[in-house]
């Protein structure tokens, strides 16, 4: 049934944040090697190492025939120590990422280094007759060799390099890249690059995330390790459990920014490594801090210095004499706000402020939208007068719809916000629409929110460590999520001014949590016995949950006031258990999870529409078999308190504020034909809405290009899949505004201009 809505677009309130929408890219989910990196050979440097992942070794992705050894005695470069030594007849063959795929007639450049004792001819073949060539190796030291191949057919196979009988040859830095239209090897995989470019980002934040501050001090990302010839770059373990070839290093990141028309936001570690490293956060040693500070200043010189400067000259040597025009620099990522952090951060920021007042330094405020590091990070930022703070928030659709006005409560005179990572917790239409609603809220607060980037950006199907992601891909397919289309709509149609908007006919709604009463315990990986169970003063018989079962009910509770106590003992298996208060999906419930997911922490989740939202966490050492814990959970209206062994662990108030499910925002911009309006509309309800967009002061005929994302139910759309719906374009005409029909679960972005 149609429900009439009026969107009254009022006066301009302020200028828009010009750089608001951008990208955050991190080597996570095989986003780079095996993804955006156009390289087709995997482990071409033989640097994969078992210390990075148990199943890695120096010949990962290579098949061998005959006498092949990995040696380090006389390396190509100290950063590239391992190479393959073949005694002919022998061969090595690389399967890339599940086979090297090529199109018919595709031109590819093979490059490698070879060393032979006597003149030797190498036989190179791609797949079963897709392409081939021969390479002559002159005797002596390492020789650089290259050859261009053209495939005779489309296919998928291995790159095989064979050494003739009697020959001894060392091989390293083996690369195969498609050639671009200019005849040069591609840096970036074109279909992924196109998908990024279509988002019209204003900036790209790189190289992480957790990757930037690293897993232990030795794993901190140092930009100087990642520039210059690829075969000289320092490769290392990836914090996400694989290998970083660094083939997309700082130079390539700057190139990426240029390719998509964005400004760069490099993130350097704040002189500390990730607090989730073994032994926790560590600070760069005092004796190395001066060098580290200089590295940060050198980075700015590499980006912006003239070619007469040392690092500007390096940039020119790397093929880019013109400065990159760096304006922002991020220092730190989700760091624990400790004294070490404060000390190192302050020195880095002071050094940059002194030498480069033109650079906006972005600080950090922990991993969440609340919590101790969030509070401490902001307090510190305010104390220091940090220009901008990077906030992160992965939140459920329910949370996003409740928090559209989050930034209206921030001090516009205080540090600005870069929402560096956010996402609506699934790849469904429901999440995409909630993100759109939230983004309207971001757009509405330009005095506070200056930058925002969805995260994570890219995930190779079958190789992911973090979901949801904006863009999924396989070797030959790019699968765009519904969230992608939302991001694209915001990025590609911007405004110069933000307008007041009044929404008539749309009612926000509230829901109780839990929605009905029942207590339920479950343990996916362990056998856990629950004894001395008391629910609202009633003793309940002992219960046992077993791995893989659906768990067991503890009985009915009053959803507005419940008191549950029990003693839990794990007899076997891993991790802990959860206690759910409320009904099963999709109705809303609250869950207390004890030592789940890695046998650490106790966490309170709230679950709405089948999507968990993290509400609070409390550290807990690993739970041992046979160790009893006494748990009490008290629900009192919106207040939830949890005690473990008599100690208060959680004391929180569940958010009962209304959810704004129908949301509108408006911007305007000047064009040669007069003022254009960009109006965004979200309908995250299951009824169609007829909408009048009333432009008030605008008199006369207008027309509009409307992009509409609609046609799928809220729970359609899945991880690793393409969106079930893609936007369609419509044209509308009207007088002083337009009339639209918003289907259930839809998002529209309309550009309205005077009729010509
Ligand atoms: O986006 C994935 C990860 O989430 C980032 O590396 C980190 O900053 C956050 O915890």
Give backbone dihedrals phi and psi of 545, rounded to 5 degrees, phi first: -110, 145
Name, in order, each residue with C-beta under 8 angstroms of 683's C-beta and a sequence gap of 6 or more: 433, 661, 662, 689, 742, 743, 744, 745, 746, 747
Could you tell me which CATH number the domain at 21-31+187-248+258-452 has? 3.20.20.80
- Give pLDDT, residue 698: 78
Listed in order, the ranges of the chain carrying CATH 2.60.120.260 are 40-178
Apex 629 CA angle, 627 and 632, nearest 5:
170
- Give pLDDT, residue 673: 84
Q: Which atom of ligand 1 is nearest to the CA of 239?
A: 6
Q: Is the pLDDT of residue 1 over 60?
A: no
Q: Is the pLDDT of residue 56 over 90?
A: yes
C-alpha 20/C-alpha 497 separation (Å) is: 13
> Which CA distances in Å does 234 have to 45, 47, 218, 227?
11, 10, 12, 9
> Which CA distances in Å does 671 have to 115, 197, 701, 752, 753?
62, 23, 16, 11, 9
In DSSP terms, which residues pair with 503 in a beta bridge? 7
Architecture in CATH of 517-653 = Sandwich (2.60)
Listed in order, the ranges of the chain carrying CATH 3.20.20.80 are 21-31+187-248+258-452
Of the chain, the percentage scoring pLDDT greater than 70 comes to 100
Q: Which residue is associated with the tokens 């009333």?
A: 694
Of 91, 46, 93, 83, nearest in space to 67 by CA: 91
Cβ–Cβ < 8 Å for 549, 539: no
Burial zone of 66 (CB within 10 Å; 0-12 exposed, 13-18 middle, 19+ buried): middle
Distance from Cα 210 to the centre of ligand 1, integer Å: 6
Confidence of residue 207 (pLDDT cuts 50, 70, 90): very high
Question: Which tokens in the block code for residue 667?
Answer: 């911007």
Of the chain, the percentage scoring pLDDT greater than 90 comes to 95
Cβ–Cβ < 8 Å for 751, 698: no
Q: How many residues are listed for the chain in this entry?
A: 756
Listed in order, the ranges of the chain carrying CATH 2.60.40.1180 are 3-15+506-510+659-754
- Give pLDDT, residue 2: 58
- What number is the average pLDDT over the span 466-474? 98
Question: Count of CB atoms within 10 A of residue 671's CB?
Answer: 11
- If one residue of 421, 425, 454, 459 were mutated to test the ligand 1 pocket, choosing by the most ligand atoms within 8 A of its CB, it would be 421
Query: Given the DSSP bridges, would you call strands 471-473 and 478-480 parallel, antiparallel or unpaired?
Result: antiparallel
Q: Which of 334, 391, 685, 707 is catalytic?
A: 334
Architecture in CATH of 3-15+506-510+659-754 = Sandwich (2.60)
The separation between CA 657 and the C-alpha centre of its own chain, rounded to angstroms, equals 28
Distance from Cα 399 to the centre of ligand 1, integer Å: 19
Q: Which atom of ligand 1 is nearest to the CA of 212?
A: 6
Of 551, 534, 533, 550, nearest in space to 542 by CA: 533
Q: Is 312 helix (H, G, I), strand (E, B) or coil?
A: helix
H-helix or E-strand containing 633? strand 629-636
Smallest CA separation from ligand 1 atom 1, residue: 456
Smallest CA separation from ligand 1 atom 7, residue: 209
Has domain 40-178 been given CATH number 2.60.120.260?
yes
Question: Does 456 sit behind a cis peptide bond, omega within 30 degrees of 0 on the bond before it?
Answer: yes
Name, in order, each residue with C-beta under 8 angstroms of 246's C-beta and a sequence gap of 6 or more: 225, 226, 230, 233, 234, 235, 236
C-alpha 19/C-alpha 688 separation (Å) is: 34
Of 401, 432, 485, 400, nearest in space to 716 by CA: 432
> Which CA distances in Å does 433 have to 9, 217, 350, 664, 683?
21, 40, 41, 12, 8
- What number is the average pLDDT over the span 329-350? 98
Per residue in 365-397, pLDDT (tens digit) is: 999 999 999 999 999 999 999 999 999 999 999
- Give pLDDT, residue 515: 87
What ranges in 592-641 are assigned the alpha helix state H?
596-599
Ligand 1 pocket, residue 334 CB under 6 Å: yes
């Amino acid at each position: 049934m149609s429900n009439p809505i009026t969107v009254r677009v009022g006066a301009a309130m302020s200028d828009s944040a010009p750089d608001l929408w951008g990208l955050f890219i991190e080597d996570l989910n095989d986003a780079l090697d095996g993804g955006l990196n156009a390289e087709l050979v995997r482990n071409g440097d033989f640097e994969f190492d078992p210390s990075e992942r148990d199943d890695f070794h120096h010949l990962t992705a290579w098949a061998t025939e005959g006498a092949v050894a990995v040696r380090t005695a006389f390396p190509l470069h100290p950063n590239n120590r391992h190479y393959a030594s073949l005694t002919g007849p022998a061969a090595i063959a690389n399967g890339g990422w599940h086979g090297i795929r090529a199109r018919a007639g595709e031109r590819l450049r093979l490059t490698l280094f070879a060393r032979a004792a006597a003149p030797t001819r190498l036989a190179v073949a791609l797949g079963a007759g897709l392409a081939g060539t021969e390479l002559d190796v002159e005797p002596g030291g390492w020789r650089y060799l290259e050859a261009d191949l053209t495939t005779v057919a489309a296919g998928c196979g291995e790159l095989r390099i064979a050494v003739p009988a009697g020959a001894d040859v060392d091989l390293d830095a083996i690369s195969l890249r498609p050639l671009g239209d200019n005849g040069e090897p591609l840096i970036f995989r074109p279909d992924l690059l196109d998908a990024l470019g279509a988002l019209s980002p204003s900036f790209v934040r790189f190289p992480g995330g957790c990757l930037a501050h690293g897993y232990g001090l030795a794993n901190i990302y140092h930009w100087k390790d990642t520039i210059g010839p690829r075969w000289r770059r320092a490769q290392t373990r990836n914090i996400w459990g694989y290998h970083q070839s660094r083939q997309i290093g700082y130079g390539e990141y700057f190139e990426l920014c240029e390719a998509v028309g964005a400004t760069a936001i490099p993130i350097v570690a704040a002189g500390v490594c990730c607090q989730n490293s073994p032994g926790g956060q560590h600070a760069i040693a005092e004796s190395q801090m001066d060098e580290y500070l200089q590295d940060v200043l050198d980075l700015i010189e590499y980006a912006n210095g003239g070619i007469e400067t040392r690092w500007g000259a390096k940039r020119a040597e790397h093929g880019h004499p013109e400065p990159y025009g760096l304006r922002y620099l991020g220092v730190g990522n989700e760091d624990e706000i400790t004294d070490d952090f404060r000390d190192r951060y302050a020195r880095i920021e002071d050094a940059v402020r002194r030498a480069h007042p033109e650079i906006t330094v972005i600080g950090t405020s922990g991993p969440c939208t609340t919590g101790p590091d969030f509070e401490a990070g902001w307090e510190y930022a305010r104390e220091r007068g940090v220009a901008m703070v990077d906030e992160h928030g992965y939140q459920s659709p329910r949370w996003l719809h409740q928090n559209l006005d989050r930034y209206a409560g921030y001090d516009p005179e205080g540090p600005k916000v870069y929402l560096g990572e956010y996402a609506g917790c699934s790849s469904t239409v429901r999440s995409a629409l909630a993100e759109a609603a939230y983004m309207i809220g971001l757009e509405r607060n330009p005095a506070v929110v200056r930058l925002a980037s969805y995260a994570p950006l890219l995930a190779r199907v079958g190789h992911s460590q973090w979901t949801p992601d904006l863009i999924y891909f396989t070797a030959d397919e790019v699968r765009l999520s519904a969230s992608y289309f939302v991001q694209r709509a915001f990025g590609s149609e911007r405004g110069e001014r933000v307008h007041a908007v009044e929404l008539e006919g749309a009612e926000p709604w509230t829901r109780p949590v839990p929605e009905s009463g029942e207590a339920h315990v479950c343990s996916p990986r362990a056998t856990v016995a629950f004894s001395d169970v008391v629910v609202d003063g009633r003793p309940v018989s002992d219960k046992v949950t077993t791995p893989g079962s659906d768990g067991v009910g503890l009985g009915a509770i009053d959803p507005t006031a419940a008191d549950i106590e029990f003693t839990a003992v794990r007899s076997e298996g891993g991790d802990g258990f959860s206690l759910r208060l409320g009904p099963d999906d999709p109705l809303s419930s609250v869950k207390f999870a004890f030592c789940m997911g890695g046998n650490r922490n106790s966490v309170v989740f709230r679950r709405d529409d089948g999507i968990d939202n993290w509400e609070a966490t409390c550290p807990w050492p690993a739970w041992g078999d046979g160790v009893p814990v006494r748990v009490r959970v008290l629900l009192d209206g919106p207040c939830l308190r949890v005690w473990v062994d008599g100690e208060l662990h959680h004391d929180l108030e569940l958010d009962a504020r209304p959810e704004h499910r129908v949301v509108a925002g408006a911007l305007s911009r000047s064009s040669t034909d007069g003022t254009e309006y960009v109006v965004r509309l979200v309908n995250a309800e299951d009824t169609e809405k007829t909408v009048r967009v009333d432009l008030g002061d605008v008199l006369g005929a207008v027309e509009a290009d409307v992009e509409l994302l609609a046609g799928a139910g809220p729970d359609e759309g899945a991880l690793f899949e393409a969106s079930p719906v893609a936007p369609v374009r419509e044209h509308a005409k009207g007088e002083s505004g337009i009339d639209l029909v918003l289907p259930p679960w839809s998002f529209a972005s309309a550009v309205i201009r005077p009729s010509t």
